[in-house]
Chain A
Amino acid sequence: MLTRITRIARVAASAVLACLALLPLATPSAQAATVPQTGWVRLAHLSPNTPAVDVYLYPFGNTTAQLVLKHVAYGTVSPYEPLDAGLYLVAMRAAGAGASTAPVISTNVTVAAGQAYTVAGLGPYSALTLKVLNDELGAPSGRAGIRVIEASLQAPDVTVTEGTENIATNLRFPGVTSYASVAAGSAEVRIATQTAAVTGQVTLAPGSTHTFAVLDGTGGAPKWLDLGDGAGDSSVPVGGVDTGFGGAAIPARGTVAGEAAWGALLLAGVVTALLAARRLRRG
């Protein structure tokens, strides 16, 4: 009796294995290959007279924050947070306030795959806004992109040059420019106010983008941050890559060799299954 059971079990197991050999034919053919579905969000406190805040980022509809930044003070920009494409809520609360207290300000952010955003508290405290800025991540071949955020109440009107390029002319607080296209490389940046000017060096990699944030400084002169936004390939190849010569290739469907190989495998699987079934009935 035991011998009969183990024999049945063995034959049944081989029948299952043989059927598994046929499985790939039953699976749906074209499985769509996917591309990365990640976007990026960074949070910025750029309101000169607004106290420090705690910043919360929620997947929309979720009561548990995916990201919490504590005690974010004026002039702070967080690193980019990678996020799955989708809808999110950003809320800013007074620093140290509990997670269930009413936010000072909040906004929705729709994150698309491959896109980046800066969610910035802008303007004076009395007229605080939370803006979602679309960040450009790349620039054309050999070029770089620069935009300016005017976040200084002490110097509420600035003119910004990079090398010989005008980036912003008489930009007033709390304005944000669109990106200017400049040549890549090293250059001097000059930020001129009504009364003073500050200068600094930047190196702009080809294909990179930058946001210059002008902030209140000390002694009446502003200071500025060079936020790296993104970088791409300085030249983009066309099409796919020819990296193979076929020495280890399996014959393709549609070729005689390929069909013969597939046919032989199929036959082996079917024969095995039939034989196994026959043995099971006899067993």
Chain B
Amino acid sequence: MRRSDRFSLVVLVLAGLGMAGLSGFGLAGDLRTAKPVTRTQSSSNAFSPYGQPASTVAPVPLASGEVGEPYPVSLSIPAIGVQTTLMTLGLTSTGALAVPTNTTQAGWFTGSPVPGNPGPSILAGHVDSTAGPAVFYKLSDLKPGDTIAVVLSDQSTVRFVVTMVESYAKTAFPTTSVYGPVPDAELRVITCGGAFSAGHYLNNVVVYATLESA
């Protein structure tokens, strides 16, 4: 190989690495826009291996209000290779959404409707553990049109179509848009994103989805 050709090749490789590095940054969400933020979310204890305690202080009744109604047991998102069982999630002592007690399983908030019933059904899972990627590591890669399937305890499957994927600063979390009432059966799948600072992610990634029309 000629010296000038070899040099051009090296330049191309360097440029390619630079691009790859930046796309890696891109995966972390709006890292470019992250400003240092004072953490105002209250936390009753210091940062523990599992973050906020997942136990519920005030038990939240099943949103269906009826004993024996089907409840969600597993979740699959083919576009990003997610296949997980679902645990139930309540609220913490400070009223925040409790988080799954392990990083390989996602959870369903029992204060939200069973997926497929009218209203916003809430699912949450960790983006990473202390060691590396977790169940919802690739959640922000989802695009409008992707499918999310939830299997219920009666073995029926409910399918949703992604309509929007957004990343919000936790200090400006759009509570009304995420938890507010809707007339149709919808899903919100939540994980962390953005910059990681002082032991916590600064953003939440929210995937909005609506029931697939028959």
Contacts and interface: CB of A to CB of B under 8 A. Distances in A.
B200 A244 contact: yes
Contacts of B164: 34, 36
B68 interface: no
Contact of A232 (B130, B181, B195, B200): B181
Interface string A184-212: 11100000000000000001111111000
Summarize A's interface: helix, strand, loop or mixed.
Answer: loop
B131 A247 contact: yes
Interface residues of B, number: 97
A239 B181 contact: no
B99 A17 contact: no
B181 A138 contact: yes
B111 A231 contact: no
A271 B167 CA distance: 33
Contacts of A275: 7, 11
Contact of A243 (B60, B63, B64, B192): B192
18 contacts: A14-B11, A17-B16, A20-B15, A34-B166, A35-B177, A137-B182, A184-B65, A230-B118, A232-B120, A233-B179, A234-B61, A234-B111, A237-B95, A239-B41, A240-B41, A247-B132, A247-B134, A252-B31
Interface of B: 4-5, 7-8, 11-12, 14-19, 21-22, 24-25, 27-28, 30-36, 41, 49, 51-52, 60-61, 63-66, 91, 94-97, 99-100, 103, 109, 111-113, 117-120, 122, 124-134, 136-137, 163-164, 166-168, 170-171, 173-177, 179-184, 190-193, 195-197, 199-202, 204, 208, 210
Interface of A: 7, 10-11, 13-14, 17-18, 20-21, 24-25, 27, 29-31, 33-36, 40, 80, 82, 114, 116, 135, 137-138, 142, 184-186, 203-209, 228-255, 265, 268-269, 271-272, 275-276, 279, 283
